[in-house]
């Protein structure tokens, strides 16, 4: 990326208009003395007084939109927008509904490359600043790193939460957030839905798991606080999620409504500490969870719609005064008990401020509008949330500096220093769980290495299938390496092909992904062991795989299958670095899950 011109669309006049409107609103609402003194709350309140009811309602919503451009998306994206939202593009969305935020997704074609993302962000801000009341938008995404990253290479990618938990370093966690936050800010993304503050104490958790920093509440709290600090230094709004804690469930809230049966004492001991840490570090926003926690609210309402949880526990007990954003309102966990017209109204009544990604914006927007007009919601209640949102936008400087430039992208995103930092940090996360007989490291005495196994769908912007990435990394380290993908559910034909390829190898590296007792990956691993070749296993997601593979003599855990994690694993396999990661969760025994095969803190080295 060498273009250093400003991104297309915005102008200095737009910025000056927004700043002038803010100053005028402030002065009109509070007089010259206040205008001189400033103050985010009073400035926000002055803006609120200028806004129509329709604008106020719109500012509470954060919405998806299809397309790589705010005004000229591809025809298929225009069609998707018209079908789902009733508008052609982001600019029309903002003009019609006055939304206060937009969320980026790769599947919505928002995140092709850094310059395009910057241009899209600028187009969105220009649309927001040309409205009746000029207000910049909070542009958000889920850039947790690891398993959840909406923006891929050439942006710098770090390991996810559990990997950072394995490193056990608050400094590393803070640095990762600072770098990632700086790059997001350079692309015009000003709110990140990270860090994950859930304490993953359930190995069967299908939705959090490696996204969590681990199972030790104290360690998770320290890493959450460190990441909040890093994002704040980057000028980015961070979001601790998913309150009041999504770490002990075997149910995915995207598809059903999980129940967390922790007692009040358990919640205070296990789930609360990371959120308390986030509040202590002045977190900008906290995301709700679509879960039932009967100990906190026995009504049967999910936390997102629970006044006792959002207002009683989060606001009053934890003393949190910032922005509360719902998890996506399109998820089944929040839609089972009430209709899509009731959910946004009930979320606001419970204490939420931002309403994220409703399945039908027109239904949701009009439902809130109708609730105010009927008296179910007061306009004062909207003003309270709106003031918090505007204060956040003011604190992040969006009224004075809403736009980004290509030059800023080139100076920040994916630069050499950031990539080197990612490699250094990731090397500290790779965890050696087993090394019977000193099989590892693989030295020059075993020059030919076959890499086989699972190739889950690669996160956005990675270098290709994980087996190919590991083989390429081993090749760069001086080995002759080849790759055979067998998928996450290999059949006999794939197993036979892998066994045949192993015949000409000096050692085999097998990648596994979420191995269960019924997984055919177990058959693949056993067939490779039966060849008599040395076999090393890498768990590329959950570290629990090793419990299902008793015959394995050498085993590593990477906690993700992004390029940076796989390259670090290759360096550990060959002894270029010594693995120093320590398990942030316990690995239970397959025959007796109540007992630990490996405890928290376990890890070998060379």
Question: Which residues are known to be catalytic?
Answer: 254, 327
Long-range CB pairs of 440-443 (<8 Å, 24+ gap) are: 440/536, 440/554, 440/572, 440/573, 440/575, 440/606, 441/572, 441/573, 441/574, 441/575, 441/606, 442/479, 442/507, 442/534, 442/536, 442/573, 442/574, 442/575, 443/574, 443/575
Residue 421 has φ and ψ, to the nearest 5°, of: -65, -40
| Cis geometry, peptide bond prior to residue 492 (ω within 30 degrees of 0) | no
**Cα–Cα dist 481/295, whole Å:** 54
**Cα–Cα dist 239/228, whole Å:** 8
> What are the residues facing 512 on neighbouring strands?
539
Q: Are strands 191-192 and 323-325 parallel, antiparallel or unpaired?
A: unpaired
Single out the residue of 277, 288, 348, 285 nearest to residue 318, CA to CA: 277
Distance (Å) of CA 537 to CA 56, 209, 433, 434: 55, 20, 10, 9
CB distance 152 to 459 below 8 Å: yes
**Pseudo-torsion of CA 18, 24, 27, 32, nearest 10°?**
100
Single out the residue of 565, 562, 560 nearest to residue 577, CA to CA: 565
> What are the residues facing 555 on neighbouring strands?
434, 537
**Cα–Cα dist 111/115, whole Å:** 9
Count of CB atoms within 10 A of residue 95's CB? 16
Distance from CA of residue 440 to its chain's centroid? 33
> What are the residues facing 149 on neighbouring strands?
143
Q: Report the 3 state secondary structure along 571-590.
A: HHHCCCCCCCCCCCCCEECC
* CA angle in degrees (0–180, nearest 5) for 189-192-194: 160
């Amino acid at each position: 990326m060498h273009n250093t011109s400003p991104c297309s669309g915005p102008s200095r006049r737009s910025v000056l208009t927004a700043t002038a409107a803010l100053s005028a609103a402030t002065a009109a609402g509070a007089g010259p003395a206040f205008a001189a003194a400033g103050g985010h709350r009073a400035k926000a309140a002055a803006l609120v007084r200028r806004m129509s009811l329709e604008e106020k309602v719109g500012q509470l919503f954060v919405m998806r939109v299809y397309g790589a451009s705010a005004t000229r998306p591809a025809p298929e994206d225009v069609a998707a927008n018209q079908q789902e939202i009733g508008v052609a593009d982001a600019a029309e969305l903002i003009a019609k509904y006055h939304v206060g935020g937009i969320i980026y997704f790769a599947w919505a074609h928002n995140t092709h490359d850094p310059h395009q993302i910057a241009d899209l962000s600028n187009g969105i801000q220009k649309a927001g600043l040309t409205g009746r009341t000029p207000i910049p938008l909070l542009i958000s995404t889920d850039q947790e790193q690891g398993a959840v990253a909406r923006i891929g290479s050439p942006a710098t990618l770090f390991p996810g939460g559990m990997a950072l938990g394995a490193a056990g370093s608050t400094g590393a966690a803070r640095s990762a957030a600072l770098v990632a936050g700086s790059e997001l800010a350079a692309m015009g993304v000003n709110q990140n839905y990270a860090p994950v503050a859930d304490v993953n104490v359930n190995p069967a958790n299908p939705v959090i798991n490696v996204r969590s920093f681990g199972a030790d509440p104290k360690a998770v709290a320290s890493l959450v606080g460190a990441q909040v600090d890093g994002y704040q230094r980057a000028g980015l709004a961070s979001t601790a999620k998913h309150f009041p804690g999504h770490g002990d469930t075997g149910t995915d809230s995207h598809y059903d409504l999980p129940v967390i049966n922790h007692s009040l004492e358990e919640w205070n001991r296990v789930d609360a500490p990371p959120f308390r840490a986030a509040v202590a570090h002045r977190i900008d926003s906290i995301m709700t969870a679509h879960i039932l926690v009967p100990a906190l609210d026995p009504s049967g309402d999910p936390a997102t719609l629970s006044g006792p949880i959002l207002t009683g526990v989060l606001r009053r007990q934890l003393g949190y005064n910032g922005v509360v954003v719902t998890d996506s309102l399109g998820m089944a966990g929040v839609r089972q008990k009430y209709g899509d017209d009731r959910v946004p109204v009930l979320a606001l009544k419970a204490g939420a401020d931002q309403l994220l990604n409703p399945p039908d914006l027109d239904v949701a927007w009009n439902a809130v509008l109708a609730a105010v007009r009927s008296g179910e919601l007061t306009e004062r209640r909207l003003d309270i949330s709106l003031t918090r949102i505007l204060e956040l936008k003011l604190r992040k400087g969006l009224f004075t500096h809403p736009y980004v430039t290509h030059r800023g992208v080139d100076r920040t995103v994916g630069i050499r220093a950031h990539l080197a930092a990612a490699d250094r940090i990731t090397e500290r996360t790779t965890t050696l769980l087993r090394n019977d007989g000193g099989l590892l490291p693989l030295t020059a005495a075993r020059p030919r290495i076959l890499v086989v196994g699972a190739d889950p769908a690669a996160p956005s912007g990675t270098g290709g299938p994980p087996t190919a990435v590991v083989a390429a990394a081993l090749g760069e380290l001086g080995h002759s390496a080849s790759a055979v993908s067998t998928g996450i559910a290999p059949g006999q034909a794939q197993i036979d092909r892998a066994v045949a390829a192993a015949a000409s190898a000096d050692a085999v590296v097998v990648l596994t992904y979420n191995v269960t007792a019924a997984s055919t990956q177990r058959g693949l691993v056993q067939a490779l062991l039966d060849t008599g070749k040395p076999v090393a296993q890498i768990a590329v997601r959950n570290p629990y795989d090793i419990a299902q593979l008793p015959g394995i003599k050498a085993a590593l855990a990477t906690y993700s299958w992004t390029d940076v994690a796989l390259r670090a694993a290759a360096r550990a396999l060959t002894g270029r670095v010594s693995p120093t990661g320590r398990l942030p969760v316990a690995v239970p025994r397959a025959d007796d899950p109540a007992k630990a095969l490996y405890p928290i803190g376990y890890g070998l080295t060379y």
